[in-house]
Structure 1
Amino acid sequence: MEEDFARAVEDGLKLSKRLVLPGGGAPPPRPAAAMDRDIAASASLLPSAPMAYAVVVDPAAVDSPDVPSYQPHVYGRLDPPALIPLHMREVDLAVDCAAGCASAEVSVRVRWWVHCVTRSRDCHCRIVVPMGEQGSILGAEVTVGKRSYKTHVIDVEDQGAVKTAKTESGGLLKSQFFSLTIPQVGGGEDIFATIRWSQKLLYDNGQFSVDIPFQFPQYVNPLPKVFMKKEKIQLTLNSGVSKEVLLKGTSHPLKERSRQGENLSFFHEAVVENWSNKDFTFAYSVYSGDLSGGMLVQPSTLRDYDDRDIKAAVFIIDTSGSMQGKPLESVKNAMYIALSELVHGDYFNIITFNDELHSFSSCLEQVSDKTIENAKEWMNTNFIAQGGTDIMHPLSEAIALLSNSHDALPHIFLVTDGSVEDERNICRNVKEQITTTGSKSPRISTFGLGSYCNHYFLRMLANIGKGHYDAAFDTGSIEGRMFQWFQKASSTIMTDISIDATKYIQEFEVDSEYIQDISAKCPLCVSGRYQGKLPETLSAKGYLADMSEVSIELRVQHIKDIPLDKVLAKQQMDLLTAKAWFYENNQLERKVEKLSIQNSIPSEFTRTVLLQTVLEKIDPAQQAKQKPKKNSSPNEQSATSLSGLTLGFGDIVATRENLSAGFGDTKPPERFEMFDKAVGCCSRLADCCCCMCFINTCSKMNDRCAIVMVQFCVYMVATTDNDILNTLFDTCSWSFDMGFLLLNGSWCTIAAIIDIYIHLYLTFFTGNLSMLHQWNVLVWLHVEYESMRDSCNSHLRKGIEC
């Protein structure tokens, strides 16, 4: 193969004589003597540096793209094709040496010009790169015009990802030569290529050295009057030990740019007449009087093949206006604790949402002390409660972020206190994505805050995502429950669990459509029903954190002491209620109703009432079986509805209005509280008025106005309902009596008359004789005023006589 390649290059150099370059081109190499022909061809025509060749099949296409030579036409085709070396316009060499691993990573960026093909024709171009000691190609990127090419490693079994052509475009020409063919490159075009490979460092007698093929032949030099040739070489060295590094020699003039501990950096840049005609070498040694060593450690990366302990987590936090105050502050404190649980090597991101979406980073960030600190500062700035609620957008963004997490098990943690209109659509979209991606889909765990969010939507979303659901209904428990929820969801030890029971029995039904992963923080309980005969053992299969398959033997036990229907009733009802809400299935609702009634557990489709019965008329043995009768009289049986025992399906209106009273410790006022405030409005109004101003106003009122007010008060007393009057009197009488006692004499008389009329009405029209005691209290309050004592007694006697 070496001889064939060298012969093709020799033919190409002969063809290049047809070229007439402006100013005269570089002369082709002088042919070797006959006796040394084979040795010289192998030594001088094989590439000793990164090279590019024009693959010429038709000799008539060979001509200068800028200045036509008008050479005689050549008939026929070349088989095998000739290889004409292309002129090189730019070259940059970067070498990164790691002495601790005795390896070097080399990167070469080159620009070639197709100088040997007329602009009206095109040809294939072959790139050949010689690599150093035990070289291994890492990648190549090539750009020609608007086309780009890049090497990529794919799975052999993954045939649908990339369309693979039958013809090969490159590979290893020999053990240390990497070859790549670019098709249909036009004459006069530039080829930009970046090739990366790794090779071993040589070690001899305490000295490390690196040797990189960098010897370019004379015929790749372009015209010196047209192109300025600039040579760049950069080298970085990490000795791996905290010892002094001694430089032993280098082939090119390098300048030391920096030296920081074990890290050294060198650089060379110069305008040259010709490209390098010798290989790049660099040698150094580490000063040490005895045996020395060290250990190099780094966190595992996101693309590490062994990612059994890597977490890739995205936190989605609701920052709508309803999260104002303590809820958002508690969530932020819980996030601080959750981030501290991540270890170096994990990846994370934070997304906040309301009407808009804000991300801590545009990609997954690797956990470090600096990134965690930056995340906390970002939360302090961006955790601001404002705007509405939109869950679909941030959820889609999180799924997209985790799509490139490879074999690491991705997690999404969603925290919200609101309900939205497209919840069923969100579940459908997530379900479709999980069906498409399979086991690589992210685990979705949800956490609900307060009573305004739809907890059955969050439960269903977590069920579809094989995650965990939890909730907090008072602000004091948010931090503790969120931390437990995060630990439970992130401590996965077994995934993709399946129970193979269908091969033994035909009817096997599981309540949960998707089986959760097994967590180290909580056991997994799967409930369902079957019909038929089960074997003595079943098997549950799944995958461990290192993606190895494991099977667990489940021994079937027929128990009688544990009432499974009672123990699992609540779990079954929650799962069935979420499914009934999602599928809008009336049949599932009736199942929940039956379970609720049979097990006396409140549900969303039943009502819980408090029965009041007369115990003397009912047999104690039948007391537990009592049900409310529609036509029963109040003396026999009555029922009072009990509210607040179920969660409901969220409150979209309260979410839209950003109400923040969805927690148990901040309930809206009850009816009796509102009534108490209503009847006490007169007292609060009196407190808001200045006493002296009120006295001055009343002293200026004439007698006719006072009589009208008395008649109005008596009329209101006569036309007011008994219950309301009793309540008003009990609430307002003390403030009225004490207020009127401060007025002048005439108004004290009016106050006495009004109070007496009220007491007379309550006594004689309601039959409440206890009001007579309140008369005495009223008279006792007024006797403090000597000038009004007789008037009060007179009115009191007239009232009694009536």
Structure 2
Amino acid sequence: MVDVFGKSVEDGLKLSKRIYFGKDRAVSPPKQVAMEKAPHSYLPTAPMVYAEIFDPSMVDNPDIPSYQPHVHGRCDPPALIPLQMNGIVLEAECYLDTMIVTVTGSWRVHCVMGSRSCDCRLAIPMSDQAFKKEVVFVVDISGSMKGRPLENVKNGLCAALSKLNPEDSFNIIAFNGETYLFSSSLELATKETIENASQWISINFIAGGGTNILLPLNQAMEMLSNTRDSIPLIFLITDGSVEDERHICDVMKSNLTNRGSMAPRIFSFGIGSYCNHYFLQMLALISRGHYDAAYDADSIDLHMQRLFTAASTTIVANITIDTLECLDAHEVYPFHIPDLSSGSPLIVSGRYQGNFPDSLKAKGMLGDMNNFVIDLKVQKGKDIPLDKVVAKRQIDVLTAQAWLMEDKAIEEKVAKMSIQTSVPSEYTHWFLLQTNKGKQASESSGIQQVSNKIDLQRLVDSKGCKVILLRSLSMGFGDLNATAENIPPGSVEGDLSETADMLVKAASNCCGKLANCCCCMCCIKTCSRMNDQCAIFLTQLCTVLSCFGCISCCSDVCCPSGDG
């Protein structure tokens, strides 16, 4: 893509030499624009508008015909001639993960004869100042990884290695109860080294043994102790849970604090439901890294590549936001702002007391190690329920913090936030209330969320109803027994028969409820025939709706008023 663009600009500049601008006239040729010239590329360093030239015969001064010989043929791809820029302004407005870019400016099409017209192309260069990569891949090869999980991890890891640049360096540590190193030190990512690493992976990635996470992490930290002009990365992949996870976090936090702003970033990746995902999130949080997970083997490759892309395209690091000190009180999530990656939005949320400033100043460091400062204009989020939009992220951060500190006050804070926003958490439960009134032909159910500390038996006695706890939608804090026994992810599923039966009964009432609102017999017959399929669909939908706070609406439709 870059080579094609550069060749088009080169062709355009050659064509522009045909233009005669005359002497002693107000019309003058455009000023030369600064470009980075490589052997076959001309890349703009600022927003630039080009004339797209398919027919080279149209290239001429629109004011003074040059009477050049006719040029035959067409340009494919079109030649690009930089236009004379008189002024340009670029504005960007961000709304969560969406950015609207507005470019306004004026330019003169100085290179096309007056009787002809052409399209123009706007080129906005993206920063290519990504940090040089020095990365250590720390991969779990314990017995539970046997089969498809490990095979997909191999594929994802080989894909990540293929995206390294020759000037990058890397190493691989495979671990179970012991560690196995590809090399004793970091290796440059040459084509030959990548091929050797791929062969080493295929030979040494054999599932077996237990899980020891601290040892390989310490080895990775030691390998990255002398890095320069880069932000070192540790890419941790595991499906297990270990007993010393809080100790691991303390050790990593101490190492990172001693390393200062150039400390390694830990990008943690969890597989399945037996690993402690909050432990992995905490490792990422304390190191300004990122976390991702795959709960089934088929999605491992995709999610690994997504996480590695975020890790390898960092363009702004060590981000801080000033001017928040003027507030009476404030909380920021995450508490350590992670680095900004190309193509991935950085969302920082929080709560505050006081008068919020009209603008914020964000600071960071670019890939060339120069400081970066930008003013951020504050806009009011009208008609946007920001508390619910960012609730999941905030609950995850606070839950990881509550787990690490074993803080009951934070747990209660998470439970309160979960109930207010209808977002599942580790400290709340969804439950199903079944009541029978009179001689109703069908049973009805209502779904509610409560804190884990509520006395369900007292609730049953007070309401005279049957209570069934629904399966938790949260991730849990890992399973030490499953890890010790090397049980593969997804091998054991809980018994959902009773809960599913109750949800089916609730969903089965949907068509009857809707039919009461219809006067068309054809519609009623159609709903009757579709009833079984609707029940299956709505049973699956109930869980999804709960995540978006829509379950009350579903209950109103599916269940008669006052029965839930």
TM over 0.5: yes
Which residue among 155, 171, 195 is the counterpart of 1:373? 195
Matches within 5 A, 1:604-753: 604-614=426-436, 630=458, 632=460, 637-660=465-488, 662-663=489-490, 666-668=491-493, 670=495
Say which SS state the counterpart of residue 285 (structure 2) adopts. helix
Tell me which residue corresponds to 2:323.
501
Alpha-carbon spacing, 1:617–1:561, altered in 2? closer, same or farther (3 Å): farther
Matching of residues 287-326 of structure 1 within 5 Å? 309-326=131-148
Aligned partners of 1:390 and 1:461: how far apart in 2? 15
Whichever residue aligns with residue 640 of structure 1, its letter is I
Could you tell me whether the CA contact under 8 Å between 2:138 and 2:216 is conserved in 1? yes
Instruction: Report the AA paired with residue 407 of structure 1.
Output: D
1:551 is paired with a residue whose SS is: strand
Determine the C-alpha separation between the residues in 2 that align with 1:624 and 1:416: 35
Partner residue, 1:400:
222
The question of 1:349 aligning with 2:171 is answered yes
Q: How far apart, CA to CA, are the structure 1 residues paired with 2:449 and 2:320? A: 44
Q: Is the 8 A contact 2:430 2:449 kept in 1?
A: no
Q: Distance in 2 between matches of 1:469 and 1:355?
A: 24
The 8 Å contact of residues 349 and 390 in structure 2, kept in 1 or not, is answered as yes
Match of 2:368 among 541, 546, 552: 546
- Do 2:171 and 2:186's aligned partners in 1 also have CA atoms closer than 8 Å? yes
Maintained 8 Å contact 1:307/1:408:
no
* Rounded Cα–Cα distance in structure 2 between residues aligned with 1:432 and 1:648: 26
1:452 is paired with a residue whose SS is: coil
Q: Could you tell me how far 1:670 is from its partner in structure 2?
A: 4.0
Conservation of the 8 A alpha-carbon contact between 1:307 and 1:407: no
Q: Which residue of 2 aligns with 1:523?
A: 345
Deviation sequence 1:309-353 (CA, Å, 0-9, x none): 421111000011111111101100111110111111110100000
Letter in 2 for 1:560: K
Match of 1:411 among 222, 229, 233: 233
Cα 1:637/1:440, change in 2 over 3 Å? same
Q: Shift of residue 469 of structure 1?
A: 0.3
User: d(CA) in 2 for partners of 1:626 and 1:590?
Assistant: 14
| 2:224 aligned counterpart, secondary structure | helix
Partner residue, 2:377: 555
Offset of residue 614 of structure 1? 4.6
Q: 1:512 Cα shift?
A: 2.0
Q: What's 2:285 paired with?
A: 463
**Paired residue secondary structure (1:409):** coil
What is the distance in 2 between the residues matched to 1:402 and 1:566?
A: 39
Amino acid in the other structure paired with 1:653: N
- Report the CA distance shift for 1:411/1:617 in structure 2 as closer, same or farther (over 3 A): farther
1:487 matched to 2:312:
no
Deviation at 1:611, TM superposition (A): 2.1
**Pair 1:345–1:602, CA change in 2 (3 A):** same
Distance 1:362 1:577, change over 3 A: same
- 2:359–2:378 contact (8 Å) kept in structure 1: yes
Is contact 1:515-1:526 (8 Å) kept? yes
The verdict on how the C-alpha distance between 1:669 and 1:596 changes in structure 2, with shifts beyond 3 A counting, is: closer
Radius of gyration: which is bigger?
1
Counterparts of 1:115-514 in structure 2 under 5 Å?
309-514=131-336
Once the two structures are superposed, what CA deviation does each residue of 1:558-585 show, in whole Å capped at 9, x if it has no partner?
A: 2330011111111110000000000111
What is the aligned partner in structure 2 of residue 565 from structure 1?
A: 387
Is residue 315–residue 342 contact of structure 2 (8 Å, CA) maintained in 1? yes
Q: What is the alpha-carbon distance in structure 2 between the residues aligned to residue 310 and residue 631 of structure 1?
A: 59
Q: Could you say what the CA RMSD is over the residues aligned between the two structures, in angstroms?
A: 2.6
2:307 & 2:357 partners in 1: Cα distance? 36
What fraction of aligned residue pairs are identical, expressed as a percent?
50
Counterpart amino acid of 1:650?
Answer: G
Give the deviation of 1:412 after TM superposition. 0.6
The CA distance in 2 between the partners of 1:327 and 1:461, in whole Å, is 22
Write the distance in 2 (CA, Å) between the matches of 1:442 and 1:422. Answer: 21
Q: Secondary structure at the match of 1:466?
A: coil
* Shift in alpha-carbon separation, 1:433–1:395, aligned structure 2, 3 A: same
State the AA in 1 paired with 2:357.
P
Which residue identity is paired with 1:384?
A: I
Structure 2 CA distance, aligned partners of 1:671 and 1:307? 51
Q: Which amino acid in 2 is paired with 1:667?
A: V
Closer, same or farther: CA 452–332 of 1 in aligned 2, 3 Å: same
Partners of 1:645 and 1:421 lie apart in 2 by 24
More divergent stretch after superposition (367-376 vs 499-508): 499-508
1:320 maps to a residue whose letter is: S
**2-structure distance, mates of 1:635, 1:406:** 66
Task: Classify 1:630/1:430 alpha carbon distance in 2 versus 1 (closer, same or farther; 3 Å).
Answer: same
What are structure 1's unaligned runs of at least 5 residues? 1-305, 674-802
**What is the Cα deviation at residue 653 of structure 1?**
1.4
* Deviation readout 1:115-164 (Å, 9 max, x if unpaired): xxxxxxxxxxxxxxxxxxxxxxxxxxxxxxxxxxxxxxxxxxxxxxxxxx
In structure 2, the residue matched to 1:288 is none
Change (3 A) 1:349 1:534: same
For the Cα contact (< 8 Å) 1:487–1:521, is it kept in 2? no
User: Judging changes above 3 Å, is the alpha-carbon distance between structure 1 residues 625 and 669 closer, same or farther for their aligned structure 2 residues?
Assistant: closer
Post-superposition Cα deviations, 1:512-547, rounded to whole Å, max 9, x if no partner, equal 221100111311111111111122111111011111
When residues 669 and 560 of structure 1 are mapped into structure 2, their CA distance, relative to the original with a 3 A threshold, is closer
Aligned residues of 1:455 and 1:649 also touching (Cα < 8 A): yes
C-alpha separation between the residues in 1 aligned to 2:393 and 2:439? 38
In 1: Cα distance, 2:439 partner to 2:216 partner: 62
CA shift digits 1:69-99 (9 cap, x unpaired): xxxxxxxxxxxxxxxxxxxxxxxxxxxxxxx
Q: CA deviation at 1:366?
A: 0.4
- In structure 2, what residue type is equivalent to 1:495? A
Compared CA separation, residues 535 and 667, structure 1 to 2 (3 A): same
Query: Runs of 5+ in structure 2 lacking a partner?
Result: 1-127, 441-445, 451-455, 499-564
Q: Which amino acid aligns with 1:510?
A: V
Q: Which amino acid aligns with 2:492?
A: K
SS of 1:640's partner is strand
For 2:406, the equivalent position in structure 1 comes to: 584
Distance across 1 between alignment mates of 2:461 and 2:195: 69
The amino acid that maps onto 1:369 is K
